[in-house]
Structure 1
Amino acid sequence: MAGAIQAFKDNSAPKPAEQFKLIPKIINGGIAGIIGVSVVFPLDLVKTRLQNQVIGPHGERMYKSMFDCFKKTYKAEGYFGMYKGSAVNILLITPEKAIKLTANDTFRHYLSLGPGQQLPIEREMLAGGLAGACQIVITTPMELLKIQMQDAGRVAMAAKEAGKVVPKISAWSLTVDLLKKRGILGLYQGTGATALRDVTFSVIYFPLFARLNDLGPKREDGSSVFWCSFLAGCAAGSTAALMVNPFDVIKTRLQVIKKAPGDPTYTGVLDCILKTFKNEGLTAFFKGGACRMIVIAPLFGIAQTVYYLGVAEWLLGLK
């Protein structure tokens, strides 16, 4: 690992523009994120609500399954209820995906051993981990706001059953309230858990995607065909998603601000892990796991496909 870091330092000088075009990669990453999130957002909402629901002392629960959550959400909130929080996500997913995908490519470029040589697995993992660390500056506030909006329906329903009323919230009002009470740091609640999830995810995802993508056919210019990138993104994304699901459950619970009646409170990552395990057992850490795999697989499949289609290069007249 030390050798990989040193190689990064040794190669830190700017490379010629024809070797590595940064601006098109940033644009492609943004376009990829918008398209991917727009397609899978309802599944992500269901995932959030499944992860946040707490099983009662007698096994009672609001949602019995992913499909039950879909049905109840649609019945109570309608079609647009499935897209609560999507405006925030789509607005911030552009820089988030641009940072994640571009940073990984950038670190891989500077960590390379030379033209035509495959990047060793430890350098691929380092590049992925660094990319994951870079994105949390955008991911944390985006996830915080998105989760409040996605979980609002579950909280309102639980409050109604308890004879209480929860006022409606918007992403803007929540942002203003957090800034007034806690300053900019208020938007970074759960940063540690977010970093734990995103860095680990990227360490797994990017090397796996690269290896799977290399197995497929190539175009004359050496680039991957679109269906190969899509399948590699789906396979690598779903695998990494399942492996980091326990971290995602912890992150989701720590970032919930307005809780439903009876929901526990947590003081930090370790406290959340211990209370979740004590009250709900090991299986609680895999709540929403299947749903998260279904979300991440097409999200990264679509994102990687769009990223490698070269839309930005076409728009900028580079192809």
Structure 2
Amino acid sequence: LVVVKTRFQLQVGNSEYSSILDCFKKIMAGEGPRALYRGIPAPILVEAPKRAIKFGANDAFGHYYKDKFGFKDGKALAVLTGVSAGIAEAILVNPFELVKIRMQDKGNAGVYNGTGDCVKKIFASDGALGFTRGLEATMFRHAVWNGGYFGVISGIRSTLPEAETKQGTLARNFVAGTLGGTFATMLNTPFDVAKTRIQGQTAVPFKYGATIPSILLVAREEGVGALYKGFLPKVLRLGPGGGILLVVYEVVTTYMRK
């Protein structure tokens, strides 16, 4: 689903793919099954530290804002800490996202022999600063997603009654996390499209620059609907993924407290 999402978002104008299944079929037929996993090593390498920062920084910012500014637990604090944690998370993941996008771009087929070769070629052409390309958009993407995710979770937890059983607690967390992940994906997909377009550029002069102008440019040239290219494969992964993520986090932290 990650490769499919990237292919949808990189397409300018009319889509080559009519659906997720059509995209799968065309990638399989034209590039082989290995293409469905192209660029995956980069996000896998950063997955564990990314999740640690997501929740660790969220908790740390929560304590900071309560101690320094007197914030109380609630949706406003949840959104603020989520946004702050998202910015911290983005700084870590941006180089890995850049490599992933370059590897998954159909136009780069044959350019890179693998993830390591992609890293070498980016460094050779753009230097170390080349790995910061798209950082602003990545910050927007993660800040918006985390703010929406933790804000919805806070709202649902304050609305739903406390579960009386372990299974009930797991179900409550899964529902909260899934709804949070779905809502957050609805909010941040335009920023994700902008990030993908910015990071996918290799030919100078670059068409896409700063995040907001890039979003406005896509909307003007391709319509507002283009800002949600790749939304379905993205939400299918991050909706339920948000639920699983929250369940695992709560189980692990509860065990560690004991």
Partner residue of 2:183 out of 239, 250, 266: 239
Measure how far apart 1:131 and its partner are.
0.7
Measure how far apart 1:171 and its partner are.
1.7
Aligned to 2:3: 45
Larger radius of gyration: 1
Aligned to 1:295: 237
Partner residue of 2:23 out of 66, 69, 72: 69
When residues 156 and 195 of structure 1 are mapped into structure 2, their CA distance, relative to the original with a 3 A threshold, is closer
Measure how far apart 1:194 and its partner are.
1.0
When residues 128 and 167 of structure 1 are mapped into structure 2, their CA distance, relative to the original with a 3 A threshold, is closer
8 Å Cα contact 1:84-1:149 kept in structure 2: yes
Aligned to 2:12: 54
**Partner amino acid, structure 1, of 2:173:** S
* Unpaired segments ≥5 residues, structure 2: none
Aligned to 1:252: 196
Structure 1 segment 142-161 matched on structure 2, within 5 A: 142-151=96-105, 154-155=106-107
8 Å Cα contact 2:91-2:139 kept in structure 1: no
Q: Deviations over 1:204-248 (max 9, x none)?
A: 211211232452544679x97222212211111111101221111
When residues 231 and 181 of structure 1 are mapped into structure 2, their CA distance, relative to the original with a 3 A threshold, is same
User: What is the rounded CA distance, in whole Å, between the counterparts of 2:161 and 2:25 in structure 1?
Assistant: 39
Q: Does 1:137 align with 2:137?
A: no
Aligned to 2:50: 96
- Structure (1 or 2) with the greater helix fraction: 2
When residues 219 and 149 of structure 1 are mapped into structure 2, their CA distance, relative to the original with a 3 A threshold, is farther
Calculate the aligned-residue CA RMSD, in Å.
2.7
Q: Does 1:285 align with 2:227?
A: yes
Measure how far apart 1:311 and its partner are.
7.4
When residues 188 and 87 of structure 1 are mapped into structure 2, their CA distance, relative to the original with a 3 A threshold, is same
Aligned to 1:267: 209
8 Å Cα contact 2:87-2:140 kept in structure 1: no
Q: Deviations over 1:177-202 (max 9, x none)?
A: 22233332211100111111211222
SS of the aligned residue for 1:265 comes to coil
Report the TM-score, using the length of structure 1 for normalisation: 0.71
Aligned to 2:75: 121
* Unpaired segments ≥5 residues, structure 1: 1-42, 158-165
User: What is the rounded CA distance, in whole Å, between the counterparts of 1:45 and 1:312 in structure 2?
Assistant: 35
Percent sequence identity over aligned pairs: 32
Q: Does 1:198 align with 2:142?
A: yes
**Partner amino acid, structure 1, of 2:178:** C
Measure how far apart 1:111 and its partner are.
3.7
8 Å Cα contact 1:216-1:228 kept in structure 2: no
8 Å Cα contact 1:250-1:269 kept in structure 2: yes
Aligned to 1:305: 247
When residues 271 and 118 of structure 1 are mapped into structure 2, their CA distance, relative to the original with a 3 A threshold, is closer
User: What is the rounded CA distance, in whole Å, between the counterparts of 2:33 and 2:174 in structure 1?
Assistant: 28
Measure how far apart 1:74 and its partner are.
2.5
When residues 224 and 108 of structure 1 are mapped into structure 2, their CA distance, relative to the original with a 3 A threshold, is farther
Count of residue correspondences = 252
